[in-house]
Structure formats: C-alpha cells, structure tokens
Amino acid sequence: MMDHDEALRIVYDAIDVVNRQLPASKRLHKSPDTVIVGAGGSLDSLGIVTFVILLEEKVGEAFGTTVQLLDEQMLVEDSPFQSIGALTHYIATRAM
C-alpha cells in the first residue's frame, strides 16, 4: 500500500505537467476538493486522458510496474476521479 502523502505527491506532479499545457483559467488547483471529472471540472476529454496517462506512468514508476487506473466504470457517479482527494485515496489504497 502507498501512503497518502506519496499518492498526493504523485497526483500533484501529474497536475503540474497537465497545467503547463492549459490556459491559466483551466488549470487544476492543488486542493483535495478540486473537481477533476464531472460538473465543475476544468479538463476536457483530451485533458482527462492526458492526466490519467501521466498519473498511470507516475504511479507505475513508483511501483516499478504497469498500472491501469481508468476503466469505463471509473467516470460514473462516485468515481475516484471526481476530486483530487478521492483520487489520492483511491491510489493510496489501490497501489499495492
């Protein structure tokens, strides 16, 4: 299991990379309450895909293995991708 602080650092690292590609008004804020997917989210579909790919790479590097964080059921209600806090918790408890 990954600790919460390490998972949060990985999420924030991915946000830094994605934010460099976005205009200032669309950038993700580094806060557990920031919405990633759904109402209030600032990423379009390409931004979401880019963010997830970066995140999978960074989690995979931390564990030395390939990691898949997204499937078709991950973007529904109660998805871990709804907020940074939920995503961090998901990564910390899933990455073993």
For domain 4-94, give the fold.
Answer: 1.10.1200
Query: 45-77 as b/e, with b when 16 or more CB fall inside 10 Å?
Result: eebbebbbebbbebbeebeeeebebbeeebbee
Give the pLDDT band of residue 55 (cuts 50, 70, 90). Answer: very high
Instruction: Tell me what percent of the residues of the chain surpass a pLDDT of 70.
Output: 90
Chain centre distance of CA 66: 16
Of 32, 27, 30, the C-alpha closest to 12 is 30
What's the predicted TM-score (pTM) here? Answer: 0.82
User: Tens of pLDDT along 29-38?
Assistant: 999 999 888 7
Using pLDDT thresholds of 50, 70 and 90, give the confidence band for residue 54. very high
Find out whether 10 and 69 touch, Cβ atoms under 8 Å. Answer: no
Domain ranges of the chain: 4-94
Q: What is the pLDDT of residue 32?
A: 92
Q: How many CA atoms within 13 Å lie on the side-chain side of 5?
A: 0
Q: Is the pLDDT of residue 96 over 60?
A: no
